Structure 1
Amino acid sequence: MTGHARISIAAWGATVLGSLVLTPVFSGPFLFISAFLCALMTGVGVLLQNLRAPRFVVPIVQLAVLVELLSLFFLKETLKFGILPVGGTAIEFNAQMANALTSINQYSAPLPPDAHLTLFATTVISATGLLIHVIAVQLRQAAWAGLLLLIMYTVPAATVHGGLPALLFIPPALGYIVLLSAEGRSRLSRWGRRISGVSHLDAAEPVEASALGQAGRRIGLTVVALAALLPALLPTLPESVIGNGLAGGGSGGTGIGASISSTDPMLDMGKNLKQGANTVALTYKGGPNGGTNLRLTTLDAFDGNTWRIAPRPEGRRIDGDLTQPPGFNGALSEVGTAKMTIDVSRSLRSNFAPVPYPVKSISLKRDWRFDIGSLDVVSSNGQVVGGKKYDVTWYRMAPTEAQLRGAIDTGVPDQYTSKVPNVPKEIRDLTAQVTKDAQGNKYAAAAAIQKFFRSNGTFTYSLERQRGSGMPALSEFLLKNRTGYCEQFATGMALMARLSGIPSRVAIGFLPGQAGKDGYTVRMHDMHAWPELYFEGAGWVPFEPTPASRASSAPSYTIPGVVDPTNPSTTPSATPTTPGQTEDPELNRPDPDRNLPGDQGVPIGDTGNWFTNGGGRIIGIVALVVFVLLIPWILRALSRRRRFHRAPGRTAAEGLWSEVRDTSRDLGLDWSDVATPRQTGEWLITKLPEETHPAALRLARGIEAIRYAGNADVTTDLRPETDAVRKALWAQASHRRRWRARLLPPSWRWYLSRGTTEASDLLDEFDLLLARLRSTLLRRGRHASS
């Protein structure tokens, strides 16, 4: 096999092994398709090189082959004459890749086996394989190809929640070693000389295993083993020990929490609900009975696939009271206010401060700003709210049904919250059917949409990930399966509200949490999304379309005919109701899943105790450390017990002699491996008290007779002499020597060295086995050719 062919095949193997790290991210047959496409590209490259094609031509032809194969597999409908990619192929490819990126941003791993996601994964792997081939074969710099394998590994390692399994590091590492080995062998063959190593001569011909190959295998396997085993043996450190310091200690924090970014808060919320730890996010005191929702931010721009934060002007400094709530035209002096103190756990890594809406004033000043359109409170320098404690005063807005029903349109509040993207006709028809009795009244339409989600539409709350993303997934939710979590309910109602002519946006925040004697405790799984609808005069008004299995009740003003003068808060209420009863008699409550929160939107169960909140982990780590430290002592004790329990015989006698040797070494005595048993017995006499001399001499003479005397009695029991000598040696040693012998016996290190030697001998046998196999195959090949 030529050198370039060997490296080409090794590059293909490295690509396939490296692509295994993407299996936690994608699903479906992407791996097999990618391996097949890369194999075809590799074959084309080898063929062109055998035909002496110019070096720069090979990757160009391989790229053309890759484009053709991807088009045939995934974009066949766009090909001209069923085989030629054209402009429509490129446009469709770009659209599919855009949809894939949207799905990746929208959903957590593992992603569904949709066609556009399979195309994305296959394209990434195949393009990486092509680059590895160019670098390793054309440029003859195989070492640099490792950067591509590293990138392929680090992307899922950084994005998959909790990281990748440690053992998943092994395949790309092995692929890299194979690639380097192939290139090294090709370079060595060009030098024109041979480096011999472990060899074995049989009757036919010598079999040699390359010393270079032996060294490479030993170094490579050692590095891979250490990289795979060390992360499993060492305890995991909190994020704050190394890195950004965002998950440090503090009350309520465990170092594992939730991140809410300004890039895609909806995606972050979904990940935290589905995969995040249910640690304490914050606690607060004050506010209305039953608590109140706390909002982080609002998503007001919808492009048909993703809800995001629209471009905003630079936030204003917090200096005194914030601006009047947008859209409210009443007298603020007549609106009641409430105060609360919020203590945020360090586990919550968010640039937005959780606050009730609308905020009047907040004690966060320096490096914090607020947006005049949404009244979000956000950091101006990238710091997180975790660990902050602040006071908030907010307006307890109390819109009435009559006020909302009589709201008059005077124009949209902004350019984003009324924009309707391309929506399937079925959703428009569904919206018209749900709101047909509203007779054009915006409030009646909003109330009908909310009721449709909470009762009339037979929707079910579930955290199970749904297939697809963007508008196709939303259509699936509204028109077919009608199963989802708060994201689908909030975005579904916001879209239907816009179709009914009502400006809308989606709020991201927290449910009220669990009441306690010192206030309310809000956990990460209390994250929630709800729509806010705009009514001129009242401003932005929250609604609650999520079923009662998640949010127990909707605000009273959103239900026509219901008056609740005792709780005028406009935030979605989580006031407890009688089990099985809701604010709407027609509500069809789904059976709550065992993983779903209770009627108050909080996880079932108490906050735990010291053991469940980290104490058990500490005890486990301490026990593991103690066990690791005691391993030498345990192994030494088991070895001693086994030696003394053997029946008298040659093996038992040698074991007892080894026990005396190990005891001497453990106590710091200079035992000689080259001395005879008689010489060693004479040396032992100098280290033992006089009363033990006869036992030492009998032991030495017994070992000498068993080794060298042909007619010796091998059934002689030497255990009494061995026990006497061992105890005497132990009694003669200092206390420091004894403790060292117990905790870290030097004889254990000697056995470890011996085990390393035996492992090296095993690798020698493996080298010889490979050499014999290669010799056999070559011999058969010569016989076949002759």
Structure 2
Amino acid sequence: MTTTAPPATTPPAAPSGGPRPPRWSAAAAPLASGLAVLLAGSATGAVVGGGAWFAHAAVAVAMVVLVGALLVAVRAWLAAPGQLVALAALVTGWFTDEGVLGVLPGPAALGELGTLLRAAGQQIDTGLPPVDPTPEILLLVTLGFGTLAIAVFGLAVTVAAPAAAGVPLLVVFAVPTAVAPELLPWWSLVAAGAGYGLLLLLRPDRLRQAPGGVAVVGVAVVGALLLGSAATAVGTAGRFDAGAAGSGGGADGSIGLNPFTSLRGQLTRDEPRDLFRVQGLQTPTYLRALTLQSYVPQEGWQAGRPLPGVPLAGPLPASTSGPAGEQTVQVENLGFRDYWLPVFGDPTSITGPSETDWSYDAAGGIAYSERPHEEDGWTQAMRLPEPSAEQLRAATGPVTVDRGYLDTSGVDPRVAAIARDVTAGASTPFDRAMALENHFSGPGSPFTYSLSTAPGGGGDALVDFLTRGRTGYCEQYASAMAAMLRSVDVPARVAVGFTAGDPGPDGRLVSTEDAHAWVEAWFPGYGWQTFDPTPLADGRTIEPGYVQQAREQQGGEPAQQQPAAPAPSPAPPPPSGGGASPDPPPAEGDDPAAPVETAATGWWPVAATAAAVLAGLALLALVPALWRRRQYARRAGLARAGGTGAAAAAWDEVLAASRDHGVPVPPGDTVRAAAARIVEEHGLAGRPAEALHELAGRVEASWYGGLLPAAGILDGLVDEIRTAIAAGGTSLRARVLPPSVVPEVRRAGRRTDDPTTVTSDPGHSDPGHSDPGRSDPETADTTGR
């Protein structure tokens, strides 16, 4: 009997062509693709303010690179689909509250994303670069960088054609050069050149040529540095002074569709920019660009679409009645480009601008276009209303303007209560308007003007301005007075534009320093009349004759001393007949019925569900960080709301932030001891330390004294403390797996994240023990109570 011997095993033949590249080299190309995208994307800083955009971009690119590197090792064709699924899951978990299992983009989440993307488009179209890093803009950045990273990864890694990846990298420059009027900074070209060089060098089959490649890339980068520092060739404008007379218009010479953002940007310019030269203006009068009708809760006054208007050519319909003077002025444009053509008073004719580009909405008192334009100049004939105080006081009759000008649905009840209190002794709409104006700018008013006040004319910000801060600039004053007028049954709107500028030998010169907002109130038989509650101290406030007369009748002096020739300074009015409401320019994508969301919702749910497993590893790495973010959002909401549970939520968040940054607080510490430990270990000083001690005092008062905090107090303290703690830096491990989401185990074996109770125990009288209450079932750190 014979047996068959097993076949001999022979070792696999060594690959030909030289030694294998080291294992780590397989990660070089994916890493290079991600770095190239981020370096080329540095140009985004020219159009998005702050540093939050880079953090979002980095997370999106890192996710794409990680998922791609894992999947390309399995099957190359899986990389792009898996990366798309991972990106969809990332933005769903990061920017929505309706994701399936928190991260899968179901129909509700896609609806949220569609709304955010439409809002982002409006902000880009209306804001001044650099635009604020709002959630909408950050979503757009995350999607943009993630999609670009997928394209670059596919070319540089999947198909091993890194040279071709330079084409999608050029996309990064398309948005800044289209949006920003100035040239891109020189270093953006250098960063992009260095990133592209990395793509070409960091390939497993090219590592042996790295020394020579580094030299070539170095020479290219130096060349880009020299060229960029001399005259950067990427942009839409030159290096000459943008504020010089006659220079081309740009975003900083406009009001835009986000008027308050633009207004503040103009007022805070380091160097004022001349915008108009006006000749023939006998009476200083506000130059109105647009009017705002809609008041949105928590956001303030918003620009909307104007009514269909008449062509600007030919006679224009009157929007006011009653006594008025007539004037004709010539306006020379020195650098204003916008959807709006600023007008004085009640225009009767405007000549000079293109007849086909501009329309006039008499209801809103605005001239507008479908696209931004920069006209060389125009001639305007106008009526300047000159009613007396007695005439406006006696004005009676039905309200014939859009009832939207009386809408108070978005006004905080506390604002309405203050308005009723201020106008308690006023019997007519005119007297109520004067009472409110005197409240802000009359003799003895506690309100002061300051540009250092943070923007905000909506919701709690308005209440805080009226009750606590009492300091702001024209946005706050105009926003507050218009809302208060509506609350006492006076039709009102906010107007945005410019004061009359400074007189000179060649006419009045209007610059960005003259950007301003004021209030217009409607009176039967007279139309819209101007009121300015902003207590300017530089003589730029224009007081109409009826305001001066009313103050003299009240025995007071005008709040601001005006230059000579103070005559009625009108403001724009609406058309006769009710009509709909007037308001600003046609922003593309403004239509709520736009099909953006529908187009986006067709295939995403199916693709996301089918490929979710492929992105599982990458998503698993993100879950702790996303959960921590959700924890913070929940606690911040409870702290902001005040009342029961607010103190516990605020304190939990501070302890979690401290633990995430390497300083856990032992369970036996009292609130004060925990606060002292956090101050010492994190090196807090100044305002952050004060904020922590104030929070500790309020927490003790809530838990042991039953003094529940009011709304809108604790969340600000928490954010100050979190920011100061984070300033010390965060380890990579803490970012990926925040310690605060990992339950601690006490010696007795009991977890510290006991969620059995949901309210603090105000009757707990022993400050030396932990508070047994629980305000946040998601929290995992109850130490330091």
What TM-score results when the alignment is normalised by the length of structure 2? 0.57
2:221 aligned with 1:224:
yes
Taking a change above 3 Å as real, the CA distance of residues 531 and 167 of structure 1, as seen in their structure-2 partners, is: same
Q: Post-superposition shift, 1:246?
A: 14
2:327 aligned with 1:307:
no
Alignment of 1:75-474 (within 5 A): 89-90=109-110, 108=128, 121-156=141-176, 158-159=178-179, 162-182=182-202, 185=203, 210=209, 213=210, 216-234=213-231, 252-255=245-248, 258-260=252-254, 263-275=257-269, 277-288=271-282, 291-304=284-297, 305=299, 307-319=302-314, 321-326=315-320, 328=321, 330=322, 335-350=323-338, 352-364=340-352, 367=355, 370-377=360-367, 383-386=373-376, 388=377, 390=379, 392-414=380-402, 416-420=404-408, 422-438=410-426, 441-455=428-442, 458-464=446-452, 466=454
Structure 1 match to 2:530 = 542
Taking a change above 3 Å as real, the CA distance of residues 429 and 84 of structure 1, as seen in their structure-2 partners, is: farther
2:39 aligned with 1:17:
yes
- Alignment partners' CA distance in 2, 1:235 and 1:61: 38
Q: Post-superposition shift, 1:537?
A: 0.5
Given that 2:310 and 2:360 are in contact with CA atoms closer than 8 Å, whether structure 1 keeps it comes out as yes
- Share of identical aligned residues, percent? 26
- Alignment partners' CA distance in 1, 2:166 and 2:504: 55
The DSSP-based 3-state class of the residue aligned with 2:391 is helix
The DSSP-based 3-state class of the residue aligned with 1:427 is helix
Taking a change above 3 Å as real, the CA distance of residues 233 and 241 of structure 1, as seen in their structure-2 partners, is: closer
Given that 1:15 and 1:129 are in contact with CA atoms closer than 8 Å, whether structure 2 keeps it comes out as yes
2:545 aligned with 1:561:
no
Aligned partner letter, 1:394: M
Work out which of the residue numbers 44, 50, 57 in structure 2 matches 1:27.
50
Q: Post-superposition shift, 1:521?
A: 2.6
Structure 1 match to 2:673 = none
Structure with greater contact order relative to length (CA < 8 Å, sep ≥ 6): 2
Q: Post-superposition shift, 1:539?
A: 0.6
Structure 1 match to 2:747 = none
The DSSP-based 3-state class of the residue aligned with 1:575 is coil
Which stretch of the first structure deviates more once superposed, 107-116 or 7-16?
107-116
Residues 116-141 of structure 1 deviation map (CA, whole Å, 9 limit, x = unaligned): 66555445434433343344334555
Aligned partner letter, 1:371: D
- Alignment partners' CA distance in 2, 1:444 and 1:505: 17
Structure 1 match to 2:510 = 522
Taking a change above 3 Å as real, the CA distance of residues 166 and 111 of structure 1, as seen in their structure-2 partners, is: same
- Alignment partners' CA distance in 2, 1:64 and 1:267: 36
The DSSP-based 3-state class of the residue aligned with 2:253 is strand
Alignment of 1:626-705 (within 5 A): none
Aligned partner letter, 2:185: P
Residues 345-367 of structure 1 deviation map (CA, whole Å, 9 limit, x = unaligned): 43233564443201234454762
- Alignment partners' CA distance in 2, 1:102 and 1:421: 24
Taking a change above 3 Å as real, the CA distance of residues 240 and 94 of structure 1, as seen in their structure-2 partners, is: closer
Q: Post-superposition shift, 1:530?
A: 1.6
Given that 2:319 and 2:365 are in contact with CA atoms closer than 8 Å, whether structure 1 keeps it comes out as yes
Given that 2:393 and 2:429 are in contact with CA atoms closer than 8 Å, whether structure 1 keeps it comes out as yes
- Alignment partners' CA distance in 1, 2:172 and 2:440: 42
Taking a change above 3 Å as real, the CA distance of residues 517 and 148 of structure 1, as seen in their structure-2 partners, is: same
Q: Which runs of 5+ in 2 are unaligned?
A: 1-22, 554-558, 565-785
Work out which of the residue numbers 45, 69, 82 in structure 1 matches 2:68.
45
Aligned partner letter, 2:307: R
Work out which of the residue numbers 74, 78, 99 in structure 2 matches 1:57.
78
Q: Post-superposition shift, 1:399?
A: 1.8
Given that 2:186 and 2:232 are in contact with CA atoms closer than 8 Å, whether structure 1 keeps it comes out as no
Residues 578-618 of structure 1 deviation map (CA, whole Å, 9 limit, x = unaligned): xxxxxxxxxxxxxxxxxxxxxxxxxxxxxxxxxxxxxxxxx
Taking a change above 3 Å as real, the CA distance of residues 248 and 135 of structure 1, as seen in their structure-2 partners, is: same
- Alignment partners' CA distance in 2, 1:98 and 1:92: 10
Q: Post-superposition shift, 1:544?
A: 0.5
What TM-score results when the alignment is normalised by the length of structure 1? 0.57
Residues 291-313 of structure 1 deviation map (CA, whole Å, 9 limit, x = unaligned): 22222333344555452253332
Aligned partner letter, 2:66: G
Residues 266-308 of structure 1 deviation map (CA, whole Å, 9 limit, x = unaligned): 544333332374233333344445x222223333445554522
The DSSP-based 3-state class of the residue aligned with 1:561 is helix
Given that 1:474 and 1:488 are in contact with CA atoms closer than 8 Å, whether structure 2 keeps it comes out as yes
Query: How many residue pairs were aligned?
Result: 530
Structure 2 match to 1:751 = none
Given that 2:296 and 2:458 are in contact with CA atoms closer than 8 Å, whether structure 1 keeps it comes out as no
2:28 aligned with 1:6:
yes
Taking a change above 3 Å as real, the CA distance of residues 384 and 104 of structure 1, as seen in their structure-2 partners, is: closer
Given that 2:64 and 2:86 are in contact with CA atoms closer than 8 Å, whether structure 1 keeps it comes out as yes
Q: Post-superposition shift, 1:172?
A: 2.8
The DSSP-based 3-state class of the residue aligned with 1:46 is helix
Q: Which runs of 5+ in 1 are unaligned?
A: 190-207, 565-571, 578-786
Aligned partner letter, 2:287: L
The DSSP-based 3-state class of the residue aligned with 1:7 is helix
Given that 1:295 and 1:508 are in contact with CA atoms closer than 8 Å, whether structure 2 keeps it comes out as yes
Given that 2:393 and 2:430 are in contact with CA atoms closer than 8 Å, whether structure 1 keeps it comes out as yes
Q: Post-superposition shift, 1:56?
A: 4.0
User: As a proportion of its length, which structure holds more helix?
Assistant: 1
Residues 469-512 of structure 1 deviation map (CA, whole Å, 9 limit, x = unaligned): 86565565455544433233323323333333333333233212
Aligned partner letter, 1:39: A
Aligned partner letter, 1:410: P
Aligned partner letter, 1:48: L
Work out which of the residue numbers 461, 469, 472 in structure 2 matches 1:484.
472
Residues 684-731 of structure 1 deviation map (CA, whole Å, 9 limit, x = unaligned): xxxxxxxxxxxxxxxxxxxxxxxxxxxxxxxxxxxxxxxxxxxxxxxx
Given that 2:309 and 2:362 are in contact with CA atoms closer than 8 Å, whether structure 1 keeps it comes out as no
Residues 241-275 of structure 1 deviation map (CA, whole Å, 9 limit, x = unaligned): 89xx99899xx435577533664455443333323
The DSSP-based 3-state class of the residue aligned with 1:513 is coil
- Alignment partners' CA distance in 2, 1:142 and 1:416: 58
Aligned partner letter, 1:324: A
Q: Which has the larger radius of gyration?
A: 1
Aligned partner letter, 2:434: A
Aligned partner letter, 1:7: A
- Alignment partners' CA distance in 1, 2:124 and 2:447: 26
Given that 1:238 and 1:247 are in contact with CA atoms closer than 8 Å, whether structure 2 keeps it comes out as no
Taking a change above 3 Å as real, the CA distance of residues 426 and 177 of structure 1, as seen in their structure-2 partners, is: farther
